[in-house]
Structure 1
Amino acid sequence: MSQPESAVADSRAGDRAGGSSPNGKDSLSALAERHGLRRAIARPSLPVYLRQLWDRRHFVLTYATSRNVSRYSQAALGQLWQVLTPLLNAAVYYLMFGLILGQKDDLTNYTAFLITGVFVYSYTQRSITGGAKSISGNLSLIRALHFPRAALPLAYVIQEFQQLAISMGVLFGIVLLTHEPLTWAWLLIPFALILQTIFNLGASLLIARIGSFARDMNQLLPFILRTWLYTSGVFFSIHARMADQPAWARFLLEFNPPSVFIDLMRHLLMKSYSDDLVQKGFPHSSLPQLWLYAGFWAAVALIGGFWYFWRAEERYGRG
């Protein structure tokens, strides 16, 4: 008897023995296991998955770079919009919050304060928005090629990091033009950006899984991110506005992840910001505490987001 006939006979024998479900799925699974077969899209173990992701690092970088180049290819000003967009947003926020609502009275250098907040928050906002569409927007690629699906959210975060590198050069120039001194603390800025990038990646992986199965998330996400924007101290000093509020309420706003990364960047970039907090007696987090918070959020987001995304690896692109 040939091997296929033997396998069919084994399967029928198993069915007669009552070892299969009415639809025959259990017998087929047992048959495949006996003959050394496995599912083509089975989720690999976590170490294997990480190794596969590392092996495709060149694909991730190339994909991110090509998306970055083509993003503004149809616009007359091209890549300049990477910088102009947050600057125009900052100008609107300065008019509304700085002048009309008087938030600039709390700080010596409100211009640098506001633009720093806008640039740092925009980095997280764009990373999460891109992550939400990274799976649902690339179904044809997912169904055509076999690769770790985490490569897509990772590529979107790298794309935003490449844009941030350009924006930070503009931010440094603006901060210096507003008469902030160049200090040794600036050497720590790359480490702050690395922690924020790790957090962005974890958050992007988390929202990528949710967005791949709950398509309405792409409609809901702008409202969530806008609420997050208003509670992250981008336009106002949390220390000044929450000085008379309960300690637990002030802590919630200060411990909010975007607030942590924004506050950390302001401490590193702006000597006047730290001086304002001391001179006006605002309760504020110390710089070591901010580093601790930033490290905590980076670790929690990366570990939790990566594990949550990996658990659904074999379900992406199906149905």
Structure 2
Amino acid sequence: MSATLAKAPAPPPPPSPSAGDPAGPVLRIVPARRTGQWTSAAAVLVLGGLGLYSVVTNRAFQWDVVGDYFTSTAVLRGLGLTLWLTAVVMALGFALGTLLAVLRLSANPVLRLVSRGYVWFFRSTPILVQLLFWFNIGALYPTVLGVATVNLLGPVSVAVIGLTLHEAAYAAEVVRGGILSVDRGQIEAAQSLGLGRRRRFTRIVLPQAMRSIVPPAGNMLIGTLKGTSIVSVIAVQDLLYSVQLVYHRTYQVVPLLLVATLWYVAVTTVLGVGQHYVERHYARGTEAGR
């Protein structure tokens, strides 16, 4: 009988009390401590506040002069020319860039080579060098078709031509990348439905390509707005050149530069907000558009 008891299986252990059992231990969820993150965030806020306080209270910035010239006639006239120049250059640049992108995607090797050579050349030379070449075009070609180039191209015309040709090289790559981002199956499906090339491009390719085109195009727009300040070297009276004319007369360099800086910040902020909503419009139906 003792041998039988020795071979009998041992009884199962008693069940452990569950978390919901009032008699058992209560499990507490303790959030992870992020001491380092909070400390660094507090340090950044303190340093940012001290920097802002020093800028506001530093009399050397002459904020009263900034307020006097912020909406002056000369500054607003320069701002208007800057905005006009940005709009014209972006419109012409993307029109030419779209044409270059289509040529780059063409089956004709000569057209592809021309487009690639254009993009290579204008992306390889600084925009300042291009503007100076166009500004001195009269030394190379005094007359074109019997017209004197010195009288034909003024500073504003040189700025439009130089900036447009420069922007078109980058716009071509932006548009080409957007077109290539469209799934090839979409185009083949449109071909199977008998849609023509123009309708395929406007109804199928372009709406989907805009999701990839809009973000870099928005960055180009903001970059072009700030990049127009370079035309001041050829005496185009944009925003920067206008404030330079003032501080060359009054010797108040810092407050006048602050005037230009604040206007650039304000306009780029508005453009950034507009870019956000345009991106959401073309991203409808995707995660980014929610």
- TM-score, length of structure 2 as denominator length: 0.31
- TM-score, length of structure 1 as denominator length: 0.29
